[in-house]
A and B are shown apart, each in its own frame.
Chain A
Amino acid sequence: MANSENKSLTKKAKKQPLSNTTLLLTITICTFFGMYLLGMAIWGGGFLNPQQFINLFNNNAYLIVIACGLTIVMITGGIDISVGGTIALITMTTVVVMDDFGGGIFTSILISLGIGLAMGLIQGYFIAYLKIQPFIVTLAGMFFTRGMTTIVSKVPRTAVHEAFVALKDHYIYIPFIGIHRHGNWIPSYIEIGAIISILVLVALWATLKWTRLGRNFYAVGGNQESALMLGINVQRTQFISYVLCGILAGIGGFVYLTHTGAGNASNATGAEMQAIASSIIGGTLLSGGVGSVIGTLFGVLSLKTINIIVVASGLREPYWQSITTGLMLAFFIVLQSVILDQRKKKLGNIAG
């Protein structure tokens, strides 16, 4: 019985091999749920509280948004390391405008998107049309935004605008999900930023899956020359990917602000590397052509869950989190490389 099942499985696999994207995605999702269930089984407590799960979204909404942007850029074969700096610049500028120049929520959104869009347009032009290495351009972008942040304001600022603070502290309580504690029913809440991030994620997922633009991203990243021969405007596609990443960094900046409500030069330090790490764990390859935003979401969640697990297991010193993150990255990177190598040998180049 088992044998025949096995056979039919292999037959199926032979007929329609999973694409690399799907395979890597499956691994990531399994890992995340495995880790979370392990957490529930061993430490219980916090892990059993649905709020803990929702907090993964609440606390990391900005990371989900920018990691999606990086995924798109990485699918087209590029890289963008300026997003963390862009977030810092956006938070600082927005808070300063709100506090000193009487801006409101609408202006904040406008500023966030404006800065993000400007960074995306400029960097995209340099990379796609002037053919300068993306790493160098976005590195300059990172230096520029980090430097500008301190030019805008040297001291950390906190938003005091009434309507904005109300928006920041507005928790949306979810009916039916919650926990009984000391006889009281405590419903779980979700922040506005988390909802924005989920909406962005869904929109991007649909774009990548069903639109021509989305397919162009994969084609350009997979093989530039054959994409060109298929009649795809490679330069424009690359340009759009950076513009999109910039806009997402803008949204990410606003989301960051709705979570912390403060402008600080050290905001989102290292966020770009965390976003890249999330994309990699989610199965995006830096060489381009492979990846998905759903994978990236689970990449972010896995990255943050392992940190919670490390703290729960008693290793409270902060350096343990970095070390375990590094180990997890190493595990995924090696796993991906081994799997892709094996498949290349087995299937040739069928699976794209």
Chain B
Amino acid sequence: MANKFTNWVKKLFQSQLAIPIIALLILVIFNLIRDPSFFSIVIMKNNLGNSVLSGNLISILNGASELVILSIGMTLVTSATKGQDISIGAAAAIAGSVFVKILRAGSINAGTILLGLILGCIVAILFCLFNGILIAKFNIQPMIASLILYTAGRPIAYWINGGATPNVDSPLLTYIGGFIPHIAIPTPIIIVVIFIVLINLLLKKTTLSLYIQSVGINERAAKLNGINPVIWKLVVFVILGVCVTMAGSINVCRIGLINHETILLDIEMDAILAVAIGGNSLAGGKFKLSGSILGAYIIQALTITLYAMKVSSTAVKAYKAIVIIIIVVAGSPVVKAWLSQFKDKIVAKKEAR
């Protein structure tokens, strides 16, 4: 049994998840040394009178929700198209704006929320498909193709609502963005868990994952085997559209208003980082969703740690950059080769003795 366990640990550390797991462990240990009560979770009464969980761990899990959802979409896009979509922040702003527009049109009840979500989803999917068609049909590099929507997306979001920061206010929305009465866990965490389970079922139980990866690994070979690369790339963008809508609407519900300039700003960069930190190649092909999800939580944990160390919110980026560089350098093939050479040398020296 113990042997099995060590084998399992060994396998884990040889897989691509090794570096993100080590990075997360170091972050956790660092925080425990710095402040032993960092991970304590307390039950508090919030201003609505519900007893809810609170603490740094909860705020990490809660705050990372949008990023996790988007990094899942980004992983699939990266895998199939060998590139990244940098317009997801803008697309989320558009989806959020449509959502807010519907909510403000009438009274806010479960029906209008659902309608807003569905319409937002349709609009977001259309915009993502615009990128998808440029990428799949016209063979334009994903980053360049999505640069169009990156430039024009947020202005379109502004244009949809016609005002700077329209706000929406309803207890129903705080149920989505905050807490449902009598449930102590923040709703975004629950949504994320459900979404992860669903997408995993979708990938594991259908051929979707196989098709996406085969398109990403070798498009010609996939084509010769009867897999239409164009269609599967478009499917990936439809999934991205759903992810974008979820992230956008969760954020709207959380804050209660939409500011087209700042909603989910720079989240595309964080999502790409999450994919890379998770050990997935940005050049497409094989992917591990768990890596990207882990990467997203690492980024959020890092941010919260820095906030807890009283680093100002604008300066956080600088420290984040240093940590990111350390993680990706540790994961670079050249450094890995150096390390194994170094190990061999030591072993050789020991044997010579």
Indicate if B332 sits at the interface (CB-CB under 8 A). Answer: yes
Indicate if A273 sits at the interface (CB-CB under 8 A). Answer: yes
How far apart sit A212 and B200, CA to CA, in the bound complex (Å)?
52
**Neighbouring B residues of A171 by C-beta, 8 Å:** none
Indicate if A225 sits at the interface (CB-CB under 8 A). Answer: no
How far apart sit A131 and B159, CA to CA, in the bound complex (Å)?
42
Indicate if B176 sits at the interface (CB-CB under 8 A). Answer: no
- A171 smallest CB distance to B (angstroms): 32
Interface-facing stretch out of A5-13, A192-200, A247-255, A322-330: A322-330
- Count of inter-chain pairs, beta carbons less than 8 A: 130
Q: Mark A244-276, 1 if CB is under 8 A from B, else 0.
A: 000000000000000000000100000001001
A333 touches B318 (CB 8 A): no
Say which residue of A148, A280, A326, A334 sits within 8 Å of B318 (CB atoms): A148
How far apart sit A17 and B26, CA to CA, in the bound complex (Å)?
58
Indicate if B201 sits at the interface (CB-CB under 8 A). Answer: no
Indicate if B325 sits at the interface (CB-CB under 8 A). Answer: yes
- B318 smallest CB distance to A (angstroms): 3
Indicate if A203 sits at the interface (CB-CB under 8 A). Answer: no
A333 touches B314 (CB 8 A): no
A133 touches B282 (CB 8 A): yes
Say which residue of B155, B319, B333 sits within 8 Å of A323 (CB atoms): B155
- B32 smallest CB distance to A (angstroms): 25
- B351 smallest CB distance to A (angstroms): 30
Say which residue of B152, B276, B329 sits within 8 Å of A322 (CB atoms): B152
Indicate if A173 sits at the interface (CB-CB under 8 A). Answer: no
Q: Mark B118-162, 1 if CB is under 8 A from A, else 0.
A: 000000000000000010001111011101111111111011000
Q: Mark A141-153, 1 if CB is under 8 A from B, else 0.
A: 1111111101100
Indicate if A129 sits at the interface (CB-CB under 8 A). Answer: yes
- B285 smallest CB distance to A (angstroms): 14
Q: Mark B297-329, 1 if CB is under 8 A from A, else 0.
A: 000000000000000101111111110110011
A334 touches B134 (CB 8 A): yes
A323 touches B152 (CB 8 A): yes
B334 touches A147 (CB 8 A): no
How far apart sit A147 and B283, CA to CA, in the bound complex (Å)?
28
B321 touches A141 (CB 8 A): yes
**Neighbouring B residues of A66 by C-beta, 8 Å:** none
Q: Mark B277-290, 1 if CB is under 8 A from A, else 0.
A: 00000110000000
**Neighbouring A residues of B65 by C-beta, 8 Å:** none
Which residues of chain B from 78 to 105 have a CB within 8 Å of any chain A CB?
84
**Neighbouring A residues of B139 by C-beta, 8 Å:** 337, 341
Select from chain A the residue with minimum beta-carbon distance to B326.
A140
**Neighbouring B residues of A176 by C-beta, 8 Å:** none
How far apart sit A327 and B130, CA to CA, in the bound complex (Å)?
12
B141 touches A135 (CB 8 A): no
- B281 smallest CB distance to A (angstroms): 8
How far apart sit A141 and B150, CA to CA, in the bound complex (Å)?
20
Say which residue of B158, B269, B314 sits within 8 Å of A150 (CB atoms): B314
- A224 smallest CB distance to B (angstroms): 13
User: Given A130-B329, A131-B333, A132-B329, A276 and B158 touching (CB < 8 A)?
Assistant: no
**Neighbouring B residues of A151 by C-beta, 8 Å:** 315, 318
**Neighbouring B residues of A150 by C-beta, 8 Å:** 312, 314-315
B144 touches A280 (CB 8 A): yes
Select from chain B the residue with minimum beta-carbon distance to A122.
B325
How far apart sit A319 and B97, CA to CA, in the bound complex (Å)?
15
- B184 smallest CB distance to A (angstroms): 34
How far apart sit A1 and B148, CA to CA, in the bound complex (Å)?
44
**Neighbouring A residues of B67 by C-beta, 8 Å:** none
How far apart sit A327 and B155, CA to CA, in the bound complex (Å)?
12
Indicate if A136 sits at the interface (CB-CB under 8 A). Answer: yes
Can you give 8 contacting A-B residue pairs, CB < 8 Å? A131-B334, A133-B282, A150-B315, A273-B151, A277-B151, A323-B156, A333-B148, A337-B140
Seen from chain B, the residues whose Cβ lies within 8 Å of a Cβ on chain A are 84, 134, 138-141, 143-145, 147-156, 158-159, 269, 272-273, 276, 282-283, 312, 314-322, 324-325, 328-329, 332-335
Give the top 3 A-B pairs by smallest Cβ distance, nearest first: A147-B318, A326-B152, A319-B155
